[in-house]
Amino acid sequence: MFYQEEKVMKAFQLYTSLARQGVLNAEAVQLYKADDEIRGLLDRFSQEVDCVIIRTSEQLFLVPQTKLSPFHISNEWIKRHYLKSGATNGDIYLLYFAIIVLFGNFYDTYQSNEPTRDFIRIDEWAQYINERILHLQSHDEEELKKSEKEFSYNWRLIIEKWENMDDIKETAKKQSGNTISRLSFIDTVRRFLVDEDLIKDIGNEEITLTEKSKMIIQRFFMEVEYNKGILEFIYDFEGTEQ
pLDDT for 175 beyond 90: no
Tell me the pLDDT band of 220, cut-offs 50, 70 and 90: confident
What is the arithmetic mean of pLDDT over 45-73?
Answer: 88
Average pLDDT over residues 192-200: 95
Indicate if the pLDDT at residue 237 is higher than 90: no
**Mean pLDDT, to the nearest integer, of 76-87?**
89
Residue (of 124, 127, 103, 122) closest to 207 by Cα position: 122
Contacts of residue 223, Cβ cutoff 8 Å, sequence gap at least 6: none
- Model pLDDT, residue 234: 66
Task: Please give the mean pLDDT across all residues of the chain.
Answer: 84
Whether 31 shows a pLDDT value over 50: the answer reads: yes
Amino acid letter at 140?
A: D
Mean pLDDT along residues 2-29: 91
pLDDT of residue 226: 56
Q: What is the pLDDT of residues 105-153, one digit of tens each?
A: 898 765 667 898 999 999 999 999 999 999 889 888 888 888 887 777 7
| pTM of the predicted protein model | 0.81
**Could you tell me how far CA 114 lies from the centroid of its own chain?**
16
Residue 19's nearest CA partner among 42, 36, 3 is: 42
Query: Using an 8 Å Cβ cutoff, are 99 and 235 in contact?
Result: no
Mapped onto helix, strand or coil, the DSSP state of residue 144 is helix
Q: What is the DSSP letter of 111?
A: T
Distance, CA of 103 to CA of 107 (rounded, Å): 7
